[in-house]
Structure 1
Amino acid sequence: MKQTFLIVVLALLGQLITAQQNQQDVEKKIDEIIKQLTLKEKVNMCHAQSKFSSPGVPRLGIPEIWMSDGPHGVRGEINWDNWGYAGWTNDSITAFPALTCLASTFNPDLSHQYGVAVGEEARYRRKDILLGPGVNIYRTPLNGRNFEYMGEDPYLASIMVVPYVQGVQENGVAACLKHYALNNQEEWRGHINVNVDDRTLHEIYLPAFKAAVEKGHVWSVMGAYNQYNGQHTSHHEVLVNKILKGDWGFDGVLVTDWGSAHNTKEAAYNGLDIEMGTWTDGLTSSTNFAYDNYYLADPFYELLKSGEIDESVVDEKVRRILRLMFRTNMNMERPLGRMNNKEHHDVARKVATEGIVLMKNEKNFFPLDSEKEMTIAVIGENATKMMTIGGGSSELKAQYEISPLEGIKQRFTKATILHSMGYSSGPSAYGRVIPPYLDQDSLHAAAVETAKKADIVLFVGGLNKNHHQDCEGGDRLAFELPFNQDALLNDIIEVNPNVGMVMISGNAVAMPWLKDVKAMIQAWYLGSETGNAIADVVSGDVNPSGKLPFSFPAKLEDNAAHFYGELSYPGDSIDQYYKEGILVGYRWHDTKKVKPLFAFGHGLSYSSFEMSNIKTDKDSYFAGETMTVSCDVANVGEVDGAEVVQVYVGKPKSEVERAVKELKGFDKIQVAANGKQSVNITINIDDLAYYCTDKSDWELEKGQYVVYVGTASDNIKKKIKVSVK
């Protein structure tokens, strides 16, 4: 046994030494390349040459860097100098579910499969940087880009982002973590100055970024548009120099969001490496807006040439860019990639089905029997509206997208399927709303008549990717469903009470009709396999196991950001103040005793689970130790299913303000019908620390803690007291 252990240790040590030697060799090569570059060539490498590329150095064989949106699939090819699509016929891809759906799977292994698959498609399309994933925290349900992120909890986002990043980068494609940092709304995103205390910054808004850097070893990071403490975040002294590149040791490339640079000297000195998209007219308008006039272009060159900025500043940027190239387009061993293959379609469908959340299921309304002869009315524009189109930079040119209506028709072949739009939202358009051209009253009336003829109604509604909904460039204007859907639902329920709601959205919405519908599933934006995944769950072919990655407030003012008024959200157009501090999401609902409509971690199943033998391995711990929380989970239902055991920890009588409890561990397990599984969840005691602003460091309090074990933040099965000495 000892001999085997020694062999393993020696092998790992050998791998580490080899990796260090390889890295040293790369750094030596970079040193030699930098010596051969002219000052102008160095500067050129630090800014865009087109909408999605930065220049190489042809005379030395240094390639261009090509980038692409986005986190849910590789965007269609964009023109060189404008935002129009290039009209290629070979750039249609697999559309994967939005990251809210991925987060709701609570399945890190599936996150890795997602990353590998989307990375393979990016590699096949010859992209060097994939602009994603996004890990900004869900602070308000009005944020137009929440669907691109991983929810409200920093621990969940941290656990889910690391395997995604690793999966993408296994293909020799750099993941680009975004939007660093505090870009938690679209309203006034280009200039709003976020005021937030250091403790909240480090405990809520930075952990997922930190995990992706320190554990995922992400190769690139994208700066954000907004300001923090009076300085733009894409070239920020504290966020970039001190935290990202200092404390966390990030050795990759910091890229601007498109147009987020604002000052040449700040960009030079505060860690920005590649500037993209500052003037969107590119080379096609006039020399006043040419790429050479970017902040890190000719203005940077002139300051370097005059000696006002030392050449070592640009050398550091070029070193990072070349390091990224040796990991991507100058890595001769990277794989070739694949696109639109069955394996990718299977991953997309698996993520979609595992991410769908069964929110309510009165009298086992779901699943519906796919072998039964019945009439199903599928009502709602979202039953047929393509959701891969629109939404801003995350929009996709999918090879195919199976609509909910199509998926239901294919699965329920013995049923009579009726469809009625019910409402119309108008065409998708970035930055503006195009009014619908169909008469809403007529659509409304027709849908009610259709509902009268059916045994069951599936209302497929919610939001879409239009401006002022789930879309970049603008936040939602109201918490309610748009296009009079609430009134339509009420009228349908009056004529047919057998209504199941299929909510398509990346955000929480008001639900005044919730008590009157029999069941509801949260179906997110599911990509290419949307219809198949919804049919899988509705029919019971897949037992739902998704859990909510953010809280659904009953009304908007129950959300912490909105409770404190306009200065908290959206601000006064110049400043905003995160007055709720660390009490974001379920932390707010628990601590302030504000009952949510649906709690963080909530999600039902077609089976039933019972937890027993819940315990910790000890009742007392020291700093540096680990705590193991164990339990048995029995499936007492009639179908196989999955449950997510969630472990939260709280510190009563703390010396600082604390949330009642915070998620510190979880495990998703498959349990066969009438079967049982044991679960062991390990928590580092050091992770129970809070960020002490007096010390600018983490502080672990001594004393009593409470461990909460359950299946949702509001469904705790046992509380266990432990102490930290």
Structure 2
Amino acid sequence: MKKYFLSLFIIVGSFSAALPQSAVEVREAKIDSILSLMTLEEKVAMCHAQSKFSSAGVPRLGIPEVWMSDGPHGVRAEINWDNWGYAGWTNDSITAFPALTALAASFNPELSADYGMAIGEEARYREKDILLGPGVNIYRTPLNGRNFEYMGEDPFLASKMVVPYIQNVQKNGVAACVKHYALNNQEKWRGHIDVQVSDRALYEIYLPAFKAAIIEGEAWSIMGAYNQFRGQHCCHNEILLNDILKKDWGFDGVVVTDWGGAHDTDEAAKYGLDIEMGTWTNGLTSSTAFAYSNYYLADPFEKKLKDGELAEELVDDKVRRILRLIYRTSLDSDRPLGRVNNKEHHEVARKVATEGIVLLKNEDDFFPIDPEKKMKIAVIGENATRMMTKGGGSSELKAQFEISPLQGIQERYKNAEILYSMGYASGAPVYGRELPSPYDADSLRAAALETVKGADVVLFFGGLNKNHYQDCEGGDRLEYGLPFGQDELLKQIAEVNPNLGLVLISGNAVEMPWLSEVKGLMQGWYLGSMAGHALADVISGDVNPSGKMPFSIPKKLNDNAAHSYGEISYPGDSIKQVYKEDILVGYRWHDTKKITPQYAFGYGLTYSDFEISDVKTEASTYGLDETIKVTLTLKNTGDRAGKEVVQLYVGKKKSKVKRATKELKSFAKVIVEAGMSQEIEMEVAVRDLAYYNESISDWQIEKGSYQIYVGQASDDISEVLTVKVN
């Protein structure tokens, strides 16, 4: 062993003593020298799992293992070496951050940077090399069980929010692993469904956030999706991984399978996969002494390499990428130490939560509710007390604490009498199964109706939860309406006490047959450790809400584009599915087809009122390499300071190709004091107006007139301007 260490020292040292080289050149030279010392067996061993969440290093050469962890909203508790049971550590509790739908709803890239830094510090403290997140799959259907893990329906919003998250995670010497690449937009049949989508929709809708994560965010790793695309699984897909990711985008990092996402040795070897994880689900289905040796990129891979069926340059490329990741993480001498569960992280979680909460309805100024007033508040709903950091599949967390909505209300409303009744109940969170509630539904309903009698205010905390068939990995929702009898309960409560406000705890849109019966409505998401405090901040008015919907809420399920085309579009025929709506996803569909949503993309009220005026462009005609600059005045006409998100969309009415009416191209979140105005400048590069031309397999910009739409939601446009592109 000493001989190998000496050889490595001499080789690496000789580079250091040579003429000045960039850090990248030095690193790449080190990697080449290490590769020359490795046996074929050692190379292959680095390309597949050795445990549930680690892959092998090379001890004799001082190359460390690679340790990974879920997930995008917090660092998951320690899992046993070879099964999915928790290890039972006493020092693996963490801060639970809001789910990424809440982060996207903030429309605040600066907050995304804070989020990435905080979660990166916690991953580093836990000695993780790869954090399996963030997720940027597009919100295509409100039934998708994992929508809460993603950043909404718009590729531009997701792109702007994902880049600072990744950059700041990686400042901690922890690789972000953007997922699930690509087209993993449902959980039903996710392991095999073959997605058929046009090149134009692929490039314009489903790839931009991944492209931004790789090119702008410089993500060090990426996770393949479970599903197939054009007949190949996404974890070893020639088009997605070799052609687009590694060739076109120049990705120099590591492709990791989703757990169990590999299906073939030849394809895994040739078509872009670098590290295979989770094959055969529990790792111990083989009778051999070491089941991981039977992975597709393990013994079968090694045999094909030795027999000459596969070129050794294939394994060398994979190992080179893995070594590059190791040098960026565990072998980085400047890697910080990390920290966990500190006050600053709790403050980040709380701020993200408060800025993500969306006020959807506020009849008769139901919100804010005065926290100093003496009154009786009836708090109803299982979601007022249920821990939402548990359940949901791989994103579940072992939070050091979780402030429930009820606790948050109790601590903020010291002068009020708080009465609580569960009202409805679900079963316990168990991955892959739906358990029945242990409570009698009629008794719960009767108790809730009794509780609201005589209350000054009723706050109903309902929505979904992270059980199977709710917002949960492994199964899509079975219905668009609220589960567990909540629709009926809400109507009954409104009959007894009409001063009713509803806070939806969910990561998905829901049908709203009770909307006319509630005075106030908030979208409250899954907000993590500080959930109750953040909700109380906004309900009390301590914080002026500023969140905007990152996806459209259709009135009925068939108003959603994916569902409007029948089963072949969603969920498919169990073998394949066709994205028949093409580029018309979310608000693009509602706008273009003139289907009014319940609540539009970009919509969200505040306790202030804002007006947009004096919208102007710097010029009327622009060239290919120019930037369209739009200036405007935003005035706060309310009586309190508040934040507003000004949104800029672009459309082209007379186009030679099918287009959405308008597409988001810029946004700005600004704070304005009561009665004051602020000048805002927004920019759109002319090149960003290109569409993907399938006939030339490239981006193309049409000449002619374009419409600039400026407003406060996709359906709330204050001004439309026209510019010309030469």
> Given the two structures, how large is their TM-score scaled by the length of structure 2?
0.97
Partner of 2:645: 644
How far residue 284 of structure 1 moved from its aligned partner, in angstroms, is 7.8
Q: Alignment partner of 1:287: what SS?
A: coil
Q: Which amino acid aligns with 2:408?
A: G
Partner of 1:416: 417
Q: Alignment partner of 2:240: what SS?
A: helix
Partner of 1:72: 73
Partner of 1:370: 371
Structure 1: how far apart are the matches of 2:288 and 2:549?
Answer: 50
How far residue 282 of structure 1 moved from its aligned partner, in angstroms, is 2.1
How far residue 610 of structure 1 moved from its aligned partner, in angstroms, is 1.1
Structure 2: how far apart are the matches of 1:524 and 1:115?
Answer: 19
How far residue 611 of structure 1 moved from its aligned partner, in angstroms, is 1.1
Structure 2: how far apart are the matches of 1:521 and 1:20?
Answer: 56
Provide Cα deviations, 1:166-203, integer angstroms capped at 9, x if missing partner: 01000000000000000000000000000000000000
Partner of 1:266: 267
Mapped contact 2:84–2:282 kept (Cα < 8 A) = no
Structure 1: how far apart are the matches of 2:430 and 2:221?
Answer: 30
Q: Which amino acid aligns with 1:494?
A: E
How far residue 677 of structure 1 moved from its aligned partner, in angstroms, is 1.2
> Given the two structures, how large is their TM-score scaled by the length of structure 1?
0.97
After superposition, the CA RMSD in angstroms is 1.0
How far residue 294 of structure 1 moved from its aligned partner, in angstroms, is 0.2
Structure 2: how far apart are the matches of 1:637 and 1:398?
Answer: 38
Structure 2: how far apart are the matches of 1:83 and 1:484?
Answer: 33
Partner of 2:470: 469
Aligned residue runs from structure 1 range 83-232, under 5 A: 83-232=84-233
How far residue 515 of structure 1 moved from its aligned partner, in angstroms, is 1.1
How far residue 20 of structure 1 moved from its aligned partner, in angstroms, is 7.3
Is the counterpart of residue 615 in structure 1 residue 628 in structure 2? no
Aligned residue runs from structure 1 range 689-704, under 5 A: 689-704=690-705
Structure 1: how far apart are the matches of 2:679 and 2:631?
Answer: 7
Mapped contact 2:136–2:162 kept (Cα < 8 A) = yes
How far residue 363 of structure 1 moved from its aligned partner, in angstroms, is 1.2
Q: Alignment partner of 1:278: what SS?
A: coil
Structure 2: how far apart are the matches of 1:622 and 1:80?
Answer: 58
Mapped contact 1:104–1:355 kept (Cα < 8 A) = yes
Structure 1: how far apart are the matches of 2:63 and 2:290?
Answer: 26
Q: Alignment partner of 2:503: what SS?
A: strand
Is the counterpart of residue 554 in structure 1 residue 555 in structure 2? yes
Structure 2: how far apart are the matches of 1:387 and 1:287?
Answer: 39
How far residue 280 of structure 1 moved from its aligned partner, in angstroms, is 2.7
Is the counterpart of residue 312 in structure 1 residue 313 in structure 2? yes
Q: Which amino acid aligns with 1:323?
A: R
Cα distance change on mapping 1:141 and 1:701 into 2, 3 Å: same
Structure 2: how far apart are the matches of 1:285 and 1:417?
Answer: 56
Q: Which amino acid aligns with 2:662?
A: K
Structure 1: how far apart are the matches of 2:483 and 2:289?
Answer: 42
Partner of 1:11: none
Q: Alignment partner of 2:49: what SS?
A: coil
Provide Cα deviations, 1:484-529, integer angstroms capped at 9, x if missing partner: 0000000000000000000000000000000110010000000000
Structure 2: how far apart are the matches of 1:19 and 1:463?
Answer: 58
Mapped contact 1:548–1:599 kept (Cα < 8 A) = yes
Structure 1: how far apart are the matches of 2:546 and 2:21?
Answer: 42
Q: Alignment partner of 1:716: what SS?
A: strand
How far residue 289 of structure 1 moved from its aligned partner, in angstroms, is 7.4
Mapped contact 1:641–1:673 kept (Cα < 8 A) = yes
How far residue 148 of structure 1 moved from its aligned partner, in angstroms, is 0.1
Q: After the TM superposition, which segments of 4 or more aligned residues of structure 1 sit over 4 Å from their partners?
A: none
Q: Which amino acid aligns with 2:697?
A: S
Structure 1: how far apart are the matches of 2:56 and 2:602?
Answer: 45
Q: Alignment partner of 1:501: what SS?
A: strand
How far residue 682 of structure 1 moved from its aligned partner, in angstroms, is 1.1
How far residue 616 of structure 1 moved from its aligned partner, in angstroms, is 1.1
Structure 1: how far apart are the matches of 2:392 and 2:183?
Answer: 20
How far residue 210 of structure 1 moved from its aligned partner, in angstroms, is 0.2
Mapped contact 2:225–2:258 kept (Cα < 8 A) = yes
Structure 2: how far apart are the matches of 1:437 and 1:516?
Answer: 29
Structure 2: how far apart are the matches of 1:110 and 1:238?
Answer: 34
Cα distance change on mapping 1:19 and 1:326 into 2, 3 Å: farther
Structure 2: how far apart are the matches of 1:108 and 1:678?
Answer: 20
Q: Alignment partner of 1:718: what SS?
A: strand
Partner of 1:629: 630
How far residue 676 of structure 1 moved from its aligned partner, in angstroms, is 1.4
Structure 2: how far apart are the matches of 1:603 and 1:655?
Answer: 34
Q: Which amino acid aligns with 2:624?
A: A
Q: Which amino acid aligns with 1:292?
A: S
Mapped contact 1:81–1:280 kept (Cα < 8 A) = no
Q: Which amino acid aligns with 1:641?
A: G
Structure 1: how far apart are the matches of 2:284 and 2:366?
Answer: 59
Structure 1: how far apart are the matches of 2:451 and 2:144?
Answer: 34
Aligned residue runs from structure 1 range 361-510, under 5 A: 361-510=362-511
Structure 2: how far apart are the matches of 1:680 and 1:20?
Answer: 42
Q: Which amino acid aligns with 2:268?
A: A
Structure 2: how far apart are the matches of 1:270 and 1:426?
Answer: 42
Provide Cα deviations, 1:661-686, integer angstroms capped at 9, x if missing partner: 00000000011111111111111100
Is the counterpart of residue 293 in structure 1 residue 282 in structure 2? no
Q: Which amino acid aligns with 2:549?
A: L
How far residue 636 of structure 1 moved from its aligned partner, in angstroms, is 1.1
Between the two proteins, what is the percent identity of the paired residues?
69
Structure 1: how far apart are the matches of 2:446 and 2:20?
Answer: 68
Is the counterpart of residue 568 in structure 1 residue 574 in structure 2? no
Is the counterpart of residue 582 in structure 1 residue 583 in structure 2? yes
Structure 2: how far apart are the matches of 1:615 and 1:582?
Answer: 29
User: More displaced, 670-679 or 63-72?
Assistant: 670-679
Mapped contact 2:481–2:510 kept (Cα < 8 A) = yes
Partner of 1:44: 45
Mapped contact 1:269–1:313 kept (Cα < 8 A) = yes
Mapped contact 2:583–2:660 kept (Cα < 8 A) = yes
Cα distance change on mapping 1:40 and 1:458 into 2, 3 Å: same
Mapped contact 1:279–1:291 kept (Cα < 8 A) = no
How far residue 646 of structure 1 moved from its aligned partner, in angstroms, is 0.2
Is the counterpart of residue 599 in structure 1 residue 600 in structure 2? yes
Q: Alignment partner of 1:670: what SS?
A: strand
Provide Cα deviations, 1:692-715, integer angstroms capped at 9, x if missing partner: 000100010000000000010000
Q: Which amino acid aligns with 1:579?
A: K
How far residue 453 of structure 1 moved from its aligned partner, in angstroms, is 2.8
Mapped contact 1:202–1:691 kept (Cα < 8 A) = yes
Structure 1: how far apart are the matches of 2:446 and 2:460?
Answer: 15
Q: What residue ranges of structure 1 are gaps of 5+ in the alignment?
A: 1-17
User: More displaced, 381-390 or 626-635?
Assistant: 626-635
Provide Cα deviations, 1:528-554, integer angstroms capped at 9, x if missing partner: 000000000000000000000000000
Q: Which amino acid aligns with 1:456?
A: V
Mapped contact 1:281–1:289 kept (Cα < 8 A) = no
Q: Alignment partner of 1:446: what SS?
A: helix
Partner of 1:721: 722
Q: What residue ranges of structure 2 are gaps of 5+ in the alignment?
A: 1-18
Mapped contact 1:70–1:393 kept (Cα < 8 A) = yes
